[in-house]
């Protein structure tokens, strides 16, 4: 059973910078896992932010960036805004019969 | 404008069946793989099933394999999830999501439909 692990919760001050990470129980996360990041606010559907490690969708604010960091996928928010308070999920690709696994999510509080 | 609209959710007894639908518009449905993702109340996202554009490739999470069947009708721009032998742990909001293979991403999501399995 593959497990994808994220920080359960993080707190950041408005205007600050925070990095969320995404680890795989199978080992280091590489670009071959095509890391995706999604934002979800209460009562809303998830919204795609980042794909294939570091690529932004046309609607993704510039303050969001994706990378690989220390064997994990990472999502960095720079100049955090109050509206960035949300749950963030990573998604990794494993191929085979069970191709996709979501992380457990990180609840980001802007305080 | 890309739109995905799920329907078919509701209250069903354990052991019962339900068929979810996802109506797609604003893009060439037959060119994209599609997915179902669910979210139990207060919990995280769980990938459920994927189907390729021509239905040639189908995958399921272990938690639903043998009980759920994904299908699509490209002529009707619709995605389906037939759910049988439902359990309390299948209670969740079910989302359909478009998959862009060249980007390896789920870019557009529907608003979801709630399935409640309870006696």
Q: Chain B: residue nearest A87 by CA?
A: B44
Contact B80, A65 (CB under 8 A): no
Supply the pLDDT for residue A18: 98
Torsional class of A31: left (φ above 0), alpha (ψ -120 to 50), beta (otherwise): alpha
Rounded to whole angstroms, the Cα distance separating B86 from B115 reads 10
In this predicted structure, what is the pLDDT of residue A21? 98
pLDDT reported for residue A96: 85
B16 neighbors B36 (Cβ within 8 angstroms)? no
Q: Both tokens of residue A46?
A: 């998830």
Instruction: For residue B104, give the nearest of A52, A87, A102 by CB distance.
Output: A52
- Contact predicate A45/B112, CB 8 Å: yes
Tens-of-pLDDT digits for all 111 residues of chain A?
A: 899 999 999 999 999 999 999 999 999 999 999 999 999 999 999 999 999 999 999 999 999 999 999 999 999 999 999 999 999 999 999 988 889 999 999 999 999
Each residue of A64-85: b (16+ CB within 10 Å) or e?
bbbebeeebbbbbbeebeeebb
**A40 touches A47 (CB < 8 A):** yes
Q: Does A56 touch chain B (CB under 8 A)?
A: no
pLDDT of A98: 83
Interface contact flag, B45 A105, Cβ < 8 Å: yes
Tell me the pLDDT tens digit for each residue of B50-106.
999 999 999 999 999 999 999 999 999 999 999 999 999 999 999 999 999 999 999
């Amino acid at each position: 059973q593959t497990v994808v692990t994220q920080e359960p919760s993080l707190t950041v001050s408005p205007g600050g910078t925070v990095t969320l990470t995404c680890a795989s129980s199978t080992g280091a996360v590489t670009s071959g896992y095509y890391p995706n990041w999604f934002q979800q606010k209460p009562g809303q559907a998830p919204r795609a932010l980042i794909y294939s490690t570091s690529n932004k969708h046309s609607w993704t604010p510039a303050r969001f960036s994706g990378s690989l960091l220390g064997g994990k996928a990472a999502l960095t928010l720079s100049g955090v805004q109050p509206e960035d308070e949300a749950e963030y999920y990573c998604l990794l690709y494993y191929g085979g019969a069970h191709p996709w696994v979501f992380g457990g999510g990180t609840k980001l509080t802007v305080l | 404008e890309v739109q995905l609209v799920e329907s078919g959710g509701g209250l069903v007894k354990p052991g019962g069946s339900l068929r979810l639908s996802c109506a797609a518009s604003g893009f060439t449905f037959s060119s994209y793989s599609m997915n179902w993702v669910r979210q139990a109340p207060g919990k995280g996202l769980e990938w459920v099933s994927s189907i390729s554009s021509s239905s040639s490739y189908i995958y399921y999470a272990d938690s639903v394999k043998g009980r759920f069947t994904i299908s699509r009708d490209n002529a009707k721009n619709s995605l389906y999830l037939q759910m049988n032998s439902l359990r309390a742990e299948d209670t969740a909001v079910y989302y359909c999501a478009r998959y862009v293979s060249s980007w390896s991403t789920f870019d557009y999501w529907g608003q979801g439909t709630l399935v409640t399995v309870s006696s």
